[in-house]
């Protein structure tokens, strides 16, 4: 009986030991399947086609060109490699203005024929219509549609996920937004973080250490929405006044909030690393006549540099993955930022802001999962860096 319990226990323990590994695999699996679906979507919204006059020789349009055509930024076919012909944009709604209800039929049964009529009449037309209406129509050339190319997503400089007829999923503005915000956050957090960790580990009297340490740890536990709210209530208006900005929500506001949030991580890890420096090494240095400061920067810091680095890298990881605080203070403009004082948008903030509105299973939804995959890999990379660094540290000892 006892033996049986022992065996069952061993079995239960072993199975549940693998929980985290299974969860990671599930995360990878689900994120990847959804994200990969994006590249099976056509450029033009599903169920629709772009119909052209047969005389128009244009063979291919990219998502960006289609958007410019329909925004009337491109007004001549010359600009996309066609003949010198003015562009006429035609949407399904335009039918109601051109024809009466009777002409279109009670259930739109003549709509296809009327569209074909329009397309035949004007050589410069580009019509965005449901594919069932024009597939059989004579004298209409449907632009052959491609699936969304990987290159346009990874190197695209525009993010217009809800544009019709063809949404644009260029992730560069989001990636660069994330990098800008995290970079400046670390730039701000680094000097403070290092100073505080050196002070706490080496200089501070015991009393001060006992007071500061729990406070800093507590601040690591404060929810990110609270930091975001503080940023919104205090830092954003402050920046707006100081720099005379039209809006205070900016990359810099995000960086400041993130710097404050990354500080506890950096300080805790770096301080622990310095405290692990053996007493004997310190004493040897002091005995040779070095001052305390010389001991710190010639002995303690070089010894614990790997630990300090992991603290900083973990801080960067926290900054890159942080969602709510950034969402609240950066203004969320999905453009390539030209300065840190402009509104910008990060990868996590985009997911949080848009997933609620993206219909499940659609291209937009899948694009947001792709962002999740990218984020997942960034953090995986950062974690591996930390593990690599700490593994080297063991070797050194």
Partner 1 sequence: MSLPIDSSYRRRKLWLQQAVFALFRVLSYAVVAVLFLILGFILFHGAGVIDWTFLTEAPTDGMTSGGIWPAIVGTFWLMVGSALFAFPVGLISGIYMSEYAPDGRLVAFIRTMTNNLAGIPSIVFGLFGMAFFVNYLSFGDSILAGSLTLGLLALPVVIRTTEDAFRDIAPSYREGSLALGATKAQTIWRVLLPMAMPRVITGLILSLGRVSGETAPILFTCAAYFLPKLPESMFDQCMALPYHLYVVATSGTDIEAQMPIAYGTAFVLIVIVLAMNLLANAVRKHFEKKLKSK
Which 285-314 positions form the footprint of partner 1 (CB under 8 A)? 289, 291-294, 314
Which one among 351, 363, 367, 393 touches partner 1, defined by CB under 8 A? Answer: 351
CB 297 to partner 1: min, Å: 9
Instruction: Give 98 or 195: the residue with its C-beta nearer to partner 1.
Output: 195
Instruction: Give 138 or 356: the residue with its C-beta nearer to partner 1.
Output: 356
What residues numbered 163-182 form the site for partner 1, per CB under 8 A? Answer: none
What residues numbered 215-254 form the site for partner 1, per CB under 8 A? Answer: 215-216, 218-219, 221-230, 232-234
Rounded distance, CA 349 to CA 332, Å? 8
Residue 395 lies near partner 1 (rule: CB under 8 A): no
Residue 260 lies near partner 1 (rule: CB under 8 A): yes
Q: 6: how many CB neighbours lie within 10 A of its CB?
A: 10
The DSSP letter of residue 162 is: T
CB 307 to partner 1: min, Å: 15
What residues numbered 309-338 form the site for partner 1, per CB under 8 A? Answer: 314, 317, 320-324, 327-328
Which one among 9, 157, 187, 284 touches partner 1, defined by CB under 8 A? Answer: 9
CB 263 to partner 1: min, Å: 6
Q: Which two tokens stand for residue 183?
A: 């970079």
Rounded distance, CA 188 to CA 319, Å? 12
| Beta strands, E only, the chain | 48-52, 88-91, 125-130, 141-142, 159-160, 168-169
What residues numbered 62-121 form the site for partner 1, per CB under 8 A? Answer: none
Rounded distance, CA 379 to CA 211, Å? 32
CA end-to-end distance (rounded Å), the chain: 48
CB 358 to partner 1: min, Å: 10
Cα–Cα distances in Å, from 186 out to 126, 191, 338?
49, 9, 19
Instruction: Give 92 or 238: the residue with its C-beta nearer to partner 1.
Output: 238
Residue 24 lies near partner 1 (rule: CB under 8 A): yes
CB 226 to partner 1: min, Å: 5
Burial class of residue 88 (count of CB atoms within 10 Å of its CB; 0-12, 13-18, 19+): middle
Residue 271 lies near partner 1 (rule: CB under 8 A): no
CB 86 to partner 1: min, Å: 43
What residues numbered 181-200 form the site for partner 1, per CB under 8 A? Answer: 191-192, 195-196, 198-200
Which stretch in 77-85, 268-276, 336-344, 378-386 sits in contact with partner 1 by CB under 8 A?
Answer: 378-386
Instruction: Give 57 or 361: the residue with its C-beta nearer to partner 1.
Output: 361
Which one among 47, 244, 246, 356 touches partner 1, defined by CB under 8 A? Answer: 356
What residues numbered 45-64 form the site for partner 1, per CB under 8 A? Answer: none
Give the position of tokens 């680094």.
190
Nearest to 173 by CA among 332, 380, 9: 332
CB 72 to partner 1: min, Å: 32
Instruction: Give 157 or 380: the residue with its C-beta nearer to partner 1.
Output: 380
Which one among 88, 164, 212, 247 touches partner 1, defined by CB under 8 A? Answer: 212
Burial class of residue 261 (count of CB atoms within 10 Å of its CB; 0-12, 13-18, 19+): buried
Q: What are phi and psi of 147, to 5 degrees?
A: -80, 160
Residues in contact with partner 1, total (CB under 8 A)? 82
Nearest to 308 by CA among 183, 192, 194: 194
CB 106 to partner 1: min, Å: 39
Helix (H, G, I), strand (E, B) or coil at 93: coil
Length of the chain, in residues = 397
Find out whether the peptide bond into 165 is cis, omega within 30 degrees of 0. yes
Which stretch in 26-34, 78-86, 160-168, 273-281 sits in contact with partner 1 by CB under 8 A?
Answer: 26-34
What residues numbered 115-154 form the site for partner 1, per CB under 8 A? Answer: none
Give the position of tokens 């490699």.
81
∠ CA 23-384-152, rounded to 5°: 80
Rounded distance, CA 174 to CA 206, Å? 45
Q: Are 286 and 292 in contact (CB under 8 A)?
A: yes
What residues numbered 29-48 form the site for partner 1, per CB under 8 A? Answer: 30-31, 34
CB 354 to partner 1: min, Å: 11
The DSSP letter of residue 79 is: G
């Amino acid at each position: 009986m006892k033996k049986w319990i022992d065996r069952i226990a061993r079995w239960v323990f072993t199975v549940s030991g693998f929980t985290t590994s299974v969860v990671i695999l599930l995360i990878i699996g689900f994120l990847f399947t959804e994200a990969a679906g994006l590249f099976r979507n056509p450029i033009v919204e599903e169920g629709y086609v772009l119909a052209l006059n047969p005389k128009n020789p244009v063979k291919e349009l990219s998502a960006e060109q289609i958007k410019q055509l329909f925004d009337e930024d491109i007004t001549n076919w010359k600009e996309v490699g066609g003949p010198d012909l003015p562009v006429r944009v035609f949407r399904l709604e335009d039918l109601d203005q051109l024809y009466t209800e009777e002409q279109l039929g009670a259930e739109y049964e003549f709509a296809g024929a009327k569209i074909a009529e329009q397309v035949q009449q004007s050589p410069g037309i580009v019509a965005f219509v449901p594919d069932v209406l024009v597939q059989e129509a004579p004298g209409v050339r449907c632009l052959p549609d491609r699936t969304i190319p990987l290159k346009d997503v990874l190197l695209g400089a525009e993010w217009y996920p809800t544009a019709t007829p063809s949404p644009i999923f260029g992730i560069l503005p989001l990636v660069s937004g994330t990098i800008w915000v995290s970079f400046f956050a670390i730039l701000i957090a680094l000097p403070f973080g290092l100073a505080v960790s050196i002070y706490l580990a080496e200089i501070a009297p015991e009393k001060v250490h006992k007071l500061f340490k729990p406070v800093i740890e507590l601040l690591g536990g404060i929810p990110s929405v609270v930091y975001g709210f503080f940023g919104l209530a205090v830092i954003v208006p402050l920046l707006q006044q100081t720099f005379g900005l039209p809006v205070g929500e900016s990359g810099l506001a995000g960086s400041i909030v993130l710097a404050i949030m990354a500080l506890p991580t950096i300080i805790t890890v770096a301080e622990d690393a310095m405290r692990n420096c053996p007493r004997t090494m310190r004493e040897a240095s002091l005995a040779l006549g070095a001052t305390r400061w010389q001991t710190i920067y010639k002995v303690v810091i070089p010894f614990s540099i790997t630990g300090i680095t992991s603290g900083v890298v973990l801080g960067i990881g926290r900054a890159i993955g942080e969602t709510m605080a950034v969402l609240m203070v950066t203004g969320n403009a999905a453009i390539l930022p030209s300065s840190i004082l402009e509104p910008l948008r990060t990868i996590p903030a985009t997911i949080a802001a848009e997933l609620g509105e993206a219909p499940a299973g659609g291209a937009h939804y899948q694009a947001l999962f792709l962002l999740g995959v990218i984020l997942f890999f960034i953090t995986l990379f950062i974690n591996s860096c930390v593990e690599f660094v700490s593994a080297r540290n063991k070797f050194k000892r």
